[in-house]
Amino acid sequence: MVYNYHETTKHAQHKYARSLGYMDWSTQPDPFRVYNGVKEIKLPLAMQNSTPPYHLLDAQLPSAPLVKESISQLLQFSMGIAAYKESGDSSWAVRCNASSGNLHPTESYLVLPPISKEQNNKSNLFHYRPKDHSLEELASFETSFWDELPDNSFILGLSSISWREAWKYGERAFRYTQLDAGHAWQAIVVSAKMLGWKVTRLDSVSDEDISLLLGLTHKSKFFEDETPDMLFVISPQDVKSELNIDEMIKDIPTEFEGIANRLSSSMQKWDIIPAIEEATSQEQIPQAKTQKNEIIRTPSKESKDVVLNRRSIHVMQKDISTITKEQFHNILSSVAGSLDAKENSAHLSIFVHQVEDYQSGLYILVRNARDIDELKREMDSTFSWTDTEFEQLFLLQTKDLSTNSKVISCSQDIASDGAFSLGMLCNFTSQIEKYGAHRYKELYWECGVIGQQLYLEATSMGLSGTGIGCFLDDDMHTLLGLTNNKYQILYHFTLGRGYVDSRIMTRPAYE
C-alpha cells in the first residue's frame, strides 16, 4: 500500500497527482478545531516574556517550572498564531509552525498533571485552541502515571485532520499532512528549548494508544476524521523513548467532554487517503539511537523574535540572494546531525545557485554515513563525489542547475532565484522493509523537522526560506541518476533573500 500510494501520488510534468484541480470555496475547511460544550481555560499571553538568544538555545539552559505561564509560552511560540496578515478585504492567521498552503492539519493536545487551581487536583486532557490561545478541557482523571517520570513532566500529543489538506491537494494530501506534522514537532522542540525543557518522542506507543489517550476513538464526535501522529514527553530531563503509557490509558475515563466542530459542509472523498492512513497506522518499531548534534551559531536575535517572524517567502530577490560561505555552513550545520537522537535517513541533495566560494552545481550532504557507499552506487556514476570544506558535503557536478531546480519544483521561481534549494533524499525501501509501513510517516516527519529548522535558521540570519511540497518526483530522481525507489525525494526547500510584499499588512496575533 505504501509503495502504491507513493507511486500514485507522484507529480510528473504532464500528470500531477489527482486532485479536484480547483478550489471549491464552498467547502473550504475551518482551519481551527474547537470542541463545543467544554470548559475553556484562557492562557496568559507570553509576548512580554523574555526568551534566550536564539544562538544559545542548544546550551544547557535552566528549566522553567511547570506552571500555566510556561505551558502558555510553550504553546504560543510553537503552535500559536504568530500574526494576522491583511490584504484588501481578506485577513488570515499565520502560525509559528509552517503548513502547506497554510491549511494547518495538525492539532495539539496536552495531558497535564495537576498544576493549576482550575484543575481541582486532577490530571487533565486538554485540546489547544490556537485561535484564542486557550485550553479546552476534554477529560479529568486521577493517575499515578506521573510517578514514572521526572518531576515537572507532561505529555503533548499531535494528530492530523487530513481533510484540511485533501480539500486542496487531493490524493497527495497525506504527504503534506505528515510533513506538516514534522514541522509542528520541531516547532515544539524549539519552543521547549526556550524553557530549558527536553522533548522525547515516544516511539513504542501504537497509533491506537495515542487515539485512546487523545479521545480520537470517539468517532461519533467528529465529522471529519482526525488521526493520531505523535506523542511526546516534555520534561526538564531526557526520558526513555520506549516509555509505556498503559498506566495512563487505564486511568483515562471512557467518556470525554465536547463535540468537535464540523469543519466543512461536505467533503470530497479520496479513497486512497483513509487507505494509506490505515496502512501506516501499524505498529511502530523504534529506530537505532544516535548522538544529537551540536550546532554552531553566531550571535543572533532573541529566540521568540525568530519563531514569531518565521515566514514563507513567495518571491526571491535574485540579484541580492548571494550568501556567504559561513552562512551556508552554519545553515547546514543546523540540520547535518540528528535532531531527535535517532538515526537520520534524509540526505540533502543541494542545488547551489549563489553561495560565495562555492561553484554553482549539485552537492549532497550525507546525513548518515551508513548510506554513503550505497548512494555512490545508486546515483549517477559520473558524479565526482569531491570533498568540500564542510564535513560530509560532497560536490557531485559543477553546472548551473537553476532552471532544472525551478522546473522540478513545479516551475516555481523561488527554487531558482535563491542562494540554494534542495531536495530531501530519503533512504526509502530498506527503511520501510526494516521498520514497517509506519516508517513512511516517520520519513516525512524527519523531512518536516529539517524544513522547520531551515526556516528558523534562515530567519535568525535575516534570510528567508520556503518549503516546497510541489515537485516532480521522478524528474528529480532522474537528475540524480536514480533508477529505482531505494532512495526517494520526499520534500524540497529553498533559501535566499525574500521580497516582502508591502501591500500585505501585518496585525498582532492576540490583541
User: In angstroms, what is the C-alpha Rg of the chain?
Assistant: 22
Burial label, 208 (beta-carbon count in 10 A; 0-12, 13-18, 19+): middle
Is 169 among the residues that bind ligand FMN (CB under 6 A)? no
Smallest separation, CB 491 to ligand FMN (Å): 6
Q: For residues 213 and 110, give the distance between their C-alpha atoms in angstroms, rounded to a whole number.
A: 10
Q: For residues 474 and 348, give the distance between their C-alpha atoms in angstroms, rounded to a whole number.
A: 16
Is 467 among the residues that bind ligand FMN (CB under 6 A)? yes
Residue nearest to ligand FMN (CB): 469
Compare residues 282 and 404 and give the one whose CB is closer to ligand FMN.
Answer: 404
Q: Contacts with ligand FMN in 254-313 (CB under 6 A)? A: 311-312
Smallest separation, CB 56 to ligand FMN (Å): 25
Smallest separation, CB 116 to ligand FMN (Å): 30
Q: For residues 11 and 305, give the distance between their C-alpha atoms in angstroms, rounded to a whole number.
A: 36
Q: For residues 455 and 78, give the distance between their C-alpha atoms in angstroms, rounded to a whole number.
A: 13
Smallest separation, CB 236 to ligand FMN (Å): 30
Is 186 among the residues that bind ligand FMN (CB under 6 A)? no
Residues 213-241: b if buried by 16+ CB within 10 A, e if exposed: bbbbebeebbebbbbbbbbbbbbbeebeb
From candidates 70, 73, 100, 280, binder to ligand FMN by CB under 6 A: 100
Is 77 among the residues that bind ligand FMN (CB under 6 A)? no
Q: Are strands 134-141 and 35-36 parallel, antiparallel or unpaired?
A: unpaired
Smallest separation, CB 316 to ligand FMN (Å): 11
Smallest separation, CB 417 to ligand FMN (Å): 12
Is 187 among the residues that bind ligand FMN (CB under 6 A)? no
Count the residues in the chain: 511
Cβ(394)–Cβ(363) under 8 Å? yes
Is 469 among the residues that bind ligand FMN (CB under 6 A)? yes
Q: Contacts with ligand FMN in 368-427 (CB under 6 A)? A: 412
From candidates 466, 473, 476, 487, binder to ligand FMN by CB under 6 A: 466
Smallest separation, CB 422 to ligand FMN (Å): 13
Smallest separation, CB 212 to ligand FMN (Å): 28
Cβ(489)–Cβ(68) under 8 Å? no
From candidates 179, 187, 395, 509, binder to ligand FMN by CB under 6 A: 179
Sheet-wide strand order for 505-508: 90-95, 81-87, 505-508
> Which residues are registered as beta bridge partners of 413?
none
Compare residues 402 and 466 and give the one whose CB is closer to ligand FMN.
Answer: 466
DSSP state of 118: G
Is 16 among the residues that bind ligand FMN (CB under 6 A)? no
DSSP for 233-276, please give it: EEESS---TT---HHHHHHS-SS---EEPP--S-----THHHHH
From candidates 101, 114, 196, 481, binder to ligand FMN by CB under 6 A: 101
DSSP for 321-332, please give it: --B-HHHHHHHH
From candidates 99, 191, 200, 427, binder to ligand FMN by CB under 6 A: 99
**Footprint of ligand FMN (CB under 6 A):** 94, 98-102, 176, 179-180, 183, 311-312, 314, 412, 466-470
